[in-house]
């Protein structure tokens, strides 16, 4: 995926372009004039152009999720050979080369500033990198106002060996997941879907996934890799499923051969891709065109209780499902309390919510009143939570 930079044939022209874009992005000069000139968001489109320049054309607060796989600035020195003297196909393209750390930092802050602008208040950003760049990227995004939610270690189950034998084998990459600011609320995290994906175990921040290889690896007409740093779809599947919903817009400003767009389409998300290299962009278009949308039912994910509509206990009283004066019982009828007209419970010497009184009669600090209190029916004691679920099923809350 990572091709993508704003590199031009002339290094001097590149520095000038990046500097100009960075200045525009960070200083926000004439914001009203710039906003007026922006066209509507071109969803399900691959934009062939400079990442920073094209980001600047997108409307404010229009994107739900950004996944960025920027140039890593690998700083490779010389040719890398295997023990059998065959050449390792590394990343040595000009788009991954910067004259200095200062130049790379300016480039990073420019595209991050634009990404921050186009994100909705509830949107989040993912950025992936290696030890060459991810720490510099992390500082830049924090300086620009992003708030780090997690750092994810992608541990490669089949990493490329270290042929020179002078360092540990580089077997992982790091992803930073960040909200738009420290006080952001309402961002998407499908916690229960991630838990279901992980055999009902809480998903951890270290992900063991293979690198892109075999039939998934795109090839050109000569049988060579279409792109040197194509990311596996399994990685993007997890990212997009965790932090977006069907219909959301996913932006990738370094689109490469379109892994982000391919997975977004499979999961019924909209995508916007920006890619400078016309050849990579064409590979991505053909790849995405071959993908069909999944049916909506198959894309529903596991939802936890926090995602369900809130139903106050008083709603059951208002609707006559539980009458004032009804006696509720704790497990085994060891405790009982009377329902009042305002939805509170009363016992000898105390009154309050179903949770407060449940905790009170047990001498505990907290209690889930929905599962603690039971209603006496012809079938025996029934948890009042059954009535809450009935209200939710009606879809009227």
Q: What angle do CA 106, 111, 116 make, to 5 degrees?
A: 120
Mean pLDDT of 347-351: 94
Mean pLDDT of 158-164: 71
Q: Which pLDDT does position 300 carry in this prediction?
A: 74
Residue 19: pLDDT over 50: no
Confidence of residue 304 (pLDDT cuts 50, 70, 90): low
Confidence of residue 42 (pLDDT cuts 50, 70, 90): very high
For the chain, what's the residue count? 397
| Lowest mean pLDDT across 1-15, 128-142, 241-255 | 1-15
Choose among 173, 99, 169, 97: nearest CA to 135. Answer: 173
Q: Which residues share a beta bridge with 329?
A: 336, 374
Q: Which pLDDT does position 155 carry in this prediction?
A: 93
Residue 221: pLDDT over 80: no
**Three-state secondary structure along 67-91?**
EECCCCCCCCCCCCECCCCCECCCC
Helix, strand and coil content of the chain, in percent to the nearest 5, comes to 35, 20, 45
Q: Which pLDDT does position 30 carry in this prediction?
A: 47
Residue 37: pLDDT over 50: yes
What would the two tokens of residue 106 be?
């300016």
Q: Which pLDDT does position 276 carry in this prediction?
A: 93
Mean pLDDT of 259-272: 96
From CA 48, how far away is CA 283, in angstroms rounded?
12
pLDDT in tens, 85-124: 555 455 455 545 678 889 999 999 999 999 999 999 999 9
Choose among 306, 270, 309: nearest CA to 190. Answer: 306
From CA 96, how far away is CA 4, in angstroms rounded?
8
Confidence of residue 213 (pLDDT cuts 50, 70, 90): confident
Q: What is the pTM of this model?
A: 0.67
Confidence of residue 82 (pLDDT cuts 50, 70, 90): very low
pLDDT in tens, 312-323: 999 899 989 999
Residue 35: pLDDT over 60: no
More confident residue, 83 or 286: 286
Residue 235: pLDDT over 60: yes
What would the two tokens of residue 378 be?
């012809």
């Amino acid at each position: 995926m990572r091709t993508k930079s704003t590199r031009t044939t002339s290094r001097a022209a590149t520095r000038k372009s990046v500097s100009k874009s960075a200045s525009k992005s960070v200083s926000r000069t004439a914001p009203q004039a710039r906003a007026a000139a922006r066209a509507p968001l071109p969803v399900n489109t691959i934009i062939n152009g400079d990442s920073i320049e094209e980001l600047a054309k997108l409307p404010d607060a229009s994107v739900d999720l950004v996944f960025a796989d920027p140039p890593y600035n690998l700083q490779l020195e010389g040719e890398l050979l295997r023990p059998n003297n065959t050449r390792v196909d590394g990343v040595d393209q000009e788009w991954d080369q910067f004259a200095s750390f200062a130049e790379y930092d300016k480039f990073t802050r420019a595209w991050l500033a634009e990404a921050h602008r186009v994100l909705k208040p509830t949107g989040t950003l993912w950025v992936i990198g290696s030890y060459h760049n991810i720490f510099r990227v992390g500082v830049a995004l924090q300086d620009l106002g992003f708030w780090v939610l997690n750092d994810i270690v992608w541990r490669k189950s089949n990493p490329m060996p270290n042929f020179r034998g002078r360092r540990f084998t580089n077997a992982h990459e790091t992803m930073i997941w960040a909200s738009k600011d420290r006080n952001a609320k309402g961002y998407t995290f499908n916690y229960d879907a991630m838990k279901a994906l992980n055999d009902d175990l809480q998903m951890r921040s270290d992900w063991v996934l293979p690198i892109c290889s075999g039939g998934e690896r795109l090839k050109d007409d000569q049988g060579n890799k279409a792109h040197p740093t194509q990311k596996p779809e399994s990685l993007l599947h997890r990212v997009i499923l965790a932090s977006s919903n069907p219909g959301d817009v996913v932006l990738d400003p370094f689109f490469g051969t379109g892994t982000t767009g391919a997975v977004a389409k499979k999961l019924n998300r909209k995508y916007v891709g920006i890619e400078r290299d016309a050849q990579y962009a064409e590979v991505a278009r053909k790849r995405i065109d071959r993908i069909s949308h999944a049916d909506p039912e198959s894309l529903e994910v596991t939802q936890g209780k926090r995602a369900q509509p809130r139903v106050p206990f008083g709603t059951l009283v208002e609707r006559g499902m539980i009458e004032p004066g009804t006696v509720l019982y704790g497990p085994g009828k060891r405790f009982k309390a009377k329902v009042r007209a305002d939805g509170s419970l009363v016992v000898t010497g105390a009154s309050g919510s179903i949770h407060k009184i449940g905790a009170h009669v047990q001498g505990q600090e907290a209690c889930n009143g929905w599962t603690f209190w039971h209603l006496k029916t012809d079938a025996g004691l029934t948890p009042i939570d059954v009535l809450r679920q009935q209200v939710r099923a009606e879809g009227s809350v």
